[in-house]
Amino acid sequence: MEIQMQYYLLLGVVMFFAGVYGFITRRNLIAVLISVELNLNAVDINFAVFNRYLYPGELEGMFFTIFAIAIAAAETAVAIAIIINVYRNLSNIEVRNLDQLQEPTETTEPEEKA
């Protein structure tokens, strides 16, 4: 019995939202990166599935998948490099410590004119 398209899509949705959940809740940068990979892979599955079921005989979806995998690999390399640098600077890779780009938080009162 051929597996119906909906199951594949269901798997994609579950993977995608698992990735979103992980991206939002994980504290470790590596885990966040893994979550992003989950998102990407969920999308890859969708591409492959739509190509396979809706346009049999065509290959565009497959190619998109292959490109996405290649790009994800490159992106992971970059992300790992960033994470290593973060570790060098902060000695940890907690996401919530990465807020150095925002303004300092002390409040300043409006200047009183003399």
Partner 1 sequence: MEFTILIVLLPLLTFLVLGLLGMKLKACTSGLIGTFSMGITALLSYATAWLYFTGAQVDGVYQKWIPFNIEWLRFTDALHIDLGVLLDPISVMMLVVISTVSLMVHIYSMGYMKGERGFERYYAFLSLFSCSMLGLVLAPNIFQMYIFWELVGVSSYLLIGFYYTKPEAIAASKKAFIVTRFADLGFLIGILILSFYTHTFDFLTLTSGDHSIFAEAAGTTFMGGSVMAWALALIFMGGAGKSAMFPLHIWLPDAMEGPTPVSALIHAATMVVAGVYLVARLFPVYYFEAPEVLAMIAYIGAFTALFAAVIACVQTDIKRVLAFSTISQIGFMMVALGVSGYGGHHGLGYMAGMFHLFTHAMFKALLFLGAGAIIHAVHSNEMSHMGGLRKHLPVTHITFLIACLAIAGIPPFSGFFSKDEILSAVFAFSPWLGGVMSFIAALTAFYMFRLYYNIFWGTPAQHEHTPHEAPASMTTPLVILAAVTCVAGFIPFGKFVTSDSADYTIHLDPFVAGMSVGIALIAIIVATLFYRKASSIPVRLAQTFSGLHRAASHRFYIDEVYLFVTKRIIFNGISSSIAWFDRHVIDGAMNGMAFLTQRAALAIRGFQSGQVQQYAVVLLSGVLILTILVVFLLCC
Binding site for partner 1 (CB under 8 A): 20, 23-25, 32, 95-96, 98-103, 107-110, 112-113
Q: How near is the Cβ of 95 to partner 1 at its closest, in Å?
A: 6
Residue 92 CB, nearest distance to partner 1 (Å)?
A: 15
Residue 16's SS3 state is helix
Look at residues 40, 42, 52, 48 and name the one whose alpha carbon lies nearest to residue 64.
48
For partner 1, give the closer residue by CB, 88 or 96.
Answer: 96
Measured from the CB atom, is 31 or 48 closer to partner 1? 31
Closer by beta carbon to partner 1, 91 or else 102:
102
b/e burial code for range 43-61 (CB count within 10 A of at least 16 → b): bbbbbbbbbeeeeeeeeeb
Contact 51, 59 (CB under 8 A): yes
